[in-house]
Amino acid sequence: MTYLDVVFNYGAVPGENELRAIDSLREVYGIRVVQFNAKQRTVRVEFDASRLKQDAVAKLLRNAGIDVREPVALA
């Protein structure tokens, strides 16, 4: 397993329904951690790169109702 982090900016602030959907996102095989930073308006996802790609992670977030924008370049 190769774990990677991806960080996305998001637009609209997630509500209660979106956060519930994110909680179920953790059940997806390959997703380890989902963290929100409200101050920077970013969401960080740690995932298994041997199972998922960055685009698939973004799609999962969008399906959960998160207004995902562009990915943030990590240093």
Q: Residue ranges per domain, the chain?
A: 3-72
pLDDT at 45: 96
Q: Rounded CA gap, 46 and 7, in Å?
A: 9
Task: Put the strands of the sheet holding 68-72 in their side by side order.
Answer: 31-37, 42-48, 3-10, 68-72
- pTM comes to 0.89
Query: Is pLDDT of 57 > 80?
Result: yes
pLDDT at 29: 87
In 1-75, which ranges are continuous DSSP H helix? 16-25, 54-63
Summarised one tens digit per residue, pLDDT across range 13-48 is 999 999 899 888 878 889 999 999 999 999 999 999
- Contact (Cβ atoms closer than 8 angstroms) between residue 61 and residue 7: no
Summarised one tens digit per residue, pLDDT across range 42-55 is 999 999 999 999 99
**Which residues, other chains included, contact 51 with Cβ-Cβ below 8 Å and sequence gap of 6+?**
1, 29, 30
Q: Which CATH number fits domain 3-72: 3.30.70.100, 3.20.10.10, 3.40.30.10, 3.10.20.30?
A: 3.30.70.100
